[in-house]
Chain A
Amino acid sequence: MADWLLLHYKLPSEPSAPRVYVWRKLKRLGAVLFQDAVWVLPQNPRTLEQFQWLAAEIREMGGETALWQAQLTLKDSREELVREFQAQSDLAYAEILEQLDRPDPDLEGLSRQYQQLSQKDYFPSRMGQRAREALLSKRGGLS
């Protein structure tokens, strides 16, 4: 099985709603926009299915799209790509950690945010582990 999925698409510039819809969905899936050219996800049965559905939706909305299964041939480009995924997650985890440091943080909201994030954290970063531990330590109670 190939390692990566690449999605490329074009939607009419008007109306803008479908473009916003697709962009948000890509962000929620945790896809990375590589070199402003193509959206990338690591391949597993779930990401493959999600990208297939998104491609079908783009066609339904009158757009053009292509979905590739791909393999990188240079080792360092794989590392660069993985770093991009991690940087994206780290940024969001850092936001949670920052909120947790403030007085009286919204623990329910932040743990929901953490759960959503962890579903698209494809290459688990240390920042994610820190956010998890910070949330758990705020849970309180007797240990």
Chain B
Amino acid sequence: MAVTIEIPTAFRRFTDGSPKLDCTAATVAEALNILTSQYPGLSRHVRDDQGQIRQFLNIYLNDEDIRFLGGEDCAVKEGDKVLLVPSIAGGSQ
């Protein structure tokens, strides 16, 4: 399926300034893997050491958080959009 991954400004340092990536994938996970293999600098920002999506990165398939769709293995349809949005946390130490 042809899908588009939309990349937030803060990530574009790692994508040569590109705001999106068009790719062909069957699942969100596959699309993310294509993204990080094309732009390896992004890898550690998308997944943590255990290979899980990083805690402070939200990923949406079209309008829905992928955690409501069964996680990153959810299937994508032709023309879908995958959106990466950093979580806005204040935190405290």
Q: Do A and B form a real pair?
A: no
